[in-house]
Structure 1
Amino acid sequence: MTGPARLTTRRTVLRAALAAAGTGLLAGSVAADARRADSGPEGVLRIATGETDGFYAAFGRLLAAQVTATYPRLSCEVVSSEGSVANVRLLRARRADVALALSDIAWAAYGGTAPFGSRVPLRAIGRVYENYVQLAVRAGAPIHTVSDLAGRTVSLGAPASGGAVLGDRLLRVAGLTPGTDVRVRHLLMPQAARAMRAGAIDALLVAGGVPLPVLSGLDTRPGIRLLPLSGLLPRLRAGLGPEGSGLEAVTVPAGAYRETPEVPTIGVANLLLCRPDLPAPVAAALTHVLVRRATRLVPAPALGTQFLDARSLISTGAVPLHPGAVAAYRELHG
């Protein structure tokens, strides 16, 4: 991805593809949805998301609304959390039925590597959208690279968030030891925003949509600038396997935050996860919603850069698709 033109082209192609797919499915979709509403799964579906004012929660609310609209007997409960690591733990503890997680966290859980002490049984419903890693500093600060954070204080997000894990890795590949070379705090987004305004931290890292509300607020006061991160990508990918745990180079478009230029950064795929014992009809129902209602599942402020791509839903990497999801994809696409 190389900038606004590419983003516009990609979004246009996606919408055209979704529209074409929708045209082919439209004739039978209304009747099919009605049949599924009558015979579909029932019960309560707990969806683990993230902080209440973050992108995970916004997506989770949209997903819950579309699931219930399509399957009225399936009631959804959106569960707030600190983020990806917390969500995997909620699944493992059976306190959530499905959950959102960054792909690198999902793959670490499935493989039993840090920050998890053992393998977590997981399956995926699909790869749903992409988070943009955004490391913000005050606009006038003499900080232009990650290594310039030496001797500074940075918030890496909530303790059990995927951003905190990725942020720790970012600092280390930039040659900084957290806690020694740079002071690290783990703050929720509202706390981090207050700390930035008060001058208590010099930078904050978030992973989410573009623009992200917490950064838009800080852009108004005191003003922010994003640090380029994509140059650290090769070192981040090292040792993470051939797919690099879903990390890729992306670009925050110019003007996302007032007059900021485009900024090369890192994108991380997000997976919708479940346990292997999720009933197959529920997994299939979720898959139908992801495919048929894709255009209704992207929070409005992030339509330019965050999207559900019907072509990449099955690309879940190390975490295998749930059999119910596999059956639904085959039904939908042959």
Structure 2
Amino acid sequence: MFNRMFALTLLFAFSSVISAENYSIGTGGQSGVYYPFGGALAKVWSEQVPDVNVKAEVTAASVENTIKVVRGDMIAGIAMGNVVLDAYKGEGKFKGKLPVKTLFALYPNLVHALTLDKSGITSLADLKGKRISLGAPASGTAVTSAALLESIGIDVKKDIDAVYLNYSETTNALANGQIDAGFIVGGQGVGAVTQIALTHKVNILPISAKESDAFIEAFPAYSSYTIPADTYNHVAAVPTLSVWNVLVVNAKMSDEMAYNLTKSAFENIEQVRKVVKAAEMTTPANANRLEGVPLHAGAQKYLDSL
């Protein structure tokens, strides 16, 4: 009798596992914040949401994640707010309006225009004629860096030698003298910048108030931000730009799924914060920080219940 009961228990457990739907959450490269953040969320969702099994997927980040969410290849994706706003409006990299909504905002990304101190480059204008990494292809970094340079009159096709590298490739190329500067648009304290600052004297180029104001007027998803002194080894406080990262989902996601994903994330956010410090900014109060793209109705339902 015991053996039969034990066998039935195993059968039920096995059936529950195989009946769970397998999903992925789009992140970014492994040297950024998106990947560990996505991995922590995937763990929470897999443990807390019935019949859902989620894994973090390494991707080229924002643009790729947004497209794959719309195609139904991912349950959700981490993306920079400006990219999601472009997708919603059918602008920028997107030829038409896409059916996207957000679950909630995560934390702000900061623009790091990175050079070595010995390069002699001290401003964005100095990048003209230089070999520059604009970020990984199909990433929010690439979208932002190109738009920023264009906004100060630098044509990325004519005025610079542009290459497209992810975070770790960018810092490696910078350290090896293969590029003059590179853009990393990531959370405060992003690992790739932290690591190179420990072994090389680096500069983060300031974005002046005039440059910021002009850029924000054209791209209202951004705001000005000052990276505090010593966030990175021997780097003084520097003015830059920030844009919120969000969880983008397909607008056709069921209200029940959106509610469950949002509820489980916020009720277990301390687990995520143990993995990613940036998750300290992931709060219900900040959930709607991206203006212009509506929250999914299921996510809004949970937030309204608080």
Fold shared by both chains (TM-score > 0.5):
yes
Residue 289 (structure 1) shift: 2.6
Given that 1:254 and 1:263 are in contact with CA atoms closer than 8 Å, whether structure 2 keeps it comes out as yes
Task: Give 2:252's aligned residue.
Answer: 277
**Whole-Å separation in 1 of the counterparts to 2:265 and 2:142:** 28
Describe the shift of the 1:218–1:234 C-alpha distance in structure 2 as closer, same or farther (beyond 3 A).
Answer: same
Identity of aligned residues (%): 24
Given that 1:134 and 1:226 are in contact with CA atoms closer than 8 Å, whether structure 2 keeps it comes out as yes
TM-score between both structures, scaled by the size of structure 2: 0.88
Residue 230 (structure 1) shift: 5.0
TM-score between both structures, scaled by the size of structure 1: 0.81
The answer to whether the aligner puts 1:256 opposite 2:234 as a matched pair is no
**Whole-Å separation in 2 of the counterparts to 1:128 and 1:292:** 15
Query: Which of 153, 161, 181 is the aligned partner of 1:183?
Result: 161
Given that 1:131 and 1:208 are in contact with CA atoms closer than 8 Å, whether structure 2 keeps it comes out as yes
Describe the shift of the 1:302–1:174 C-alpha distance in structure 2 as closer, same or farther (beyond 3 A).
Answer: farther
Describe the shift of the 1:98–1:114 C-alpha distance in structure 2 as closer, same or farther (beyond 3 A).
Answer: same
The answer to whether the aligner puts 1:314 opposite 2:288 as a matched pair is yes
Q: What are the ranges of 5 or more consecutive residues in structure 1 without an aligned counterpart?
A: 1-37
Residue 226 (structure 1) shift: 0.6
**Whole-Å separation in 2 of the counterparts to 1:285 and 1:42:** 15
Measured on the aligned residues, the alpha-carbon RMSD in Å equals 2.1
**Whole-Å separation in 2 of the counterparts to 1:138 and 1:53:** 19
**Whole-Å separation in 1 of the counterparts to 2:292 and 2:151:** 24
The answer to whether the aligner puts 1:221 opposite 2:196 as a matched pair is no
Write out the 4+ residue segments of structure 1 that deviate beyond 3 Å after TM superposition: 298-303
Given that 1:156 and 1:204 are in contact with CA atoms closer than 8 Å, whether structure 2 keeps it comes out as yes
Residue 223 (structure 1) shift: 2.4
Given that 2:111 and 2:242 are in contact with CA atoms closer than 8 Å, whether structure 1 keeps it comes out as yes
**Whole-Å separation in 1 of the counterparts to 2:147 and 2:280:** 24
Task: Give 2:75's aligned residue.
Answer: 97
Instruction: Spell out the pairing of 1:1-334 with structure 2 (5 A cutoff).
Output: 43-71=21-49, 73-231=51-209, 232-240=211-219, 244-245=220-221, 247-298=222-273, 302-303=277-278, 307-331=281-305, 333=306
**Whole-Å separation in 2 of the counterparts to 1:277 and 1:287:** 16
Residue 306 (structure 1) shift: 6.0
**Whole-Å separation in 2 of the counterparts to 1:169 and 1:316:** 19
* Residues matched between the structures, number: 288
**Whole-Å separation in 1 of the counterparts to 2:70 and 2:52:** 22
Q: Aligned to 1:311, what secondary structure does the other structure show?
A: helix
Amino acid at match of 1:310: P
Q: Over residues 264-305 of structure 1, what are the superposed CA-to-partner deviations in whole Å (9 max), with x where a residue is unaligned?
A: 1111011111112212222111111332233333465645x9
